Amino acid sequence: MERNTKQKQVVMHALESLCHPSAQEIYDFAKKYQPNISMGTVYRILGIFEEQNKVLHIKIPNKADCYDYNSHQHYHLTCKNCKKVYDIPMPYLSELNKKTDEYLIEDHIILFNGVCANCLKNKEGK
């Protein structure tokens, strides 16, 4: 049976509290509650959470990877203005995961690039 350590609890609290945080943001958050936690420990815990499907690891080109507490399959948008990552409210296309003549596709990740609602609203309001 796996132990639920204080370090795991504080990393989970960071994931629940922050929106699509990077490992650095999780570490900075965790340091406030567990001053002795190391960056290596944060990465190790994130790896465990990812293996347990408690978190999604989102790889973002030209930016730090981020983590999502919502571990159900869904899509994301990176805003080119504010640089934040957002969940996209659209159905996950599980039919893309299928067997072809040459491959068995088990999963897919789609990352959209564009402008978030807040940035669009601010742009229109100017």
For residue 69, what are the contacts with CB-CB under 8 A and spacing of at least 6? Answer: 15, 16, 54, 55
pLDDT (0 to 100) of residue 38? 97
Half-sphere exposure of 8 (CA within 13 A, CB side): 13
pLDDT higher at 94 or 27? 27
3-state helix, strand, coil in the chain (%, to 5): 40, 15, 45
Tell me how far apart the alpha carbons of residues 26 and 18 are, in angstroms, rounded to a whole number: 8
pLDDT by residue (tens digit) across 68-102?
999 888 999 999 999 999 999 899 898 888 888 88
Instruction: Work out the pLDDT band at 2, boundaries 50, 70, 90.
Output: low
Would you say residue 120 has pLDDT above 90? yes
Task: Note whether 53 and 88 are within 8 A (CB).
Answer: no
The whole-model pTM stands at 0.84
Would you say residue 117 has pLDDT above 80? yes
For residue 27, what are the contacts with CB-CB under 8 A and spacing of at least 6? Answer: 37, 39, 42
Burial (CB count within 10 angstroms: exposed 0-12, middle 13-18, buried 19+), residue 69: middle
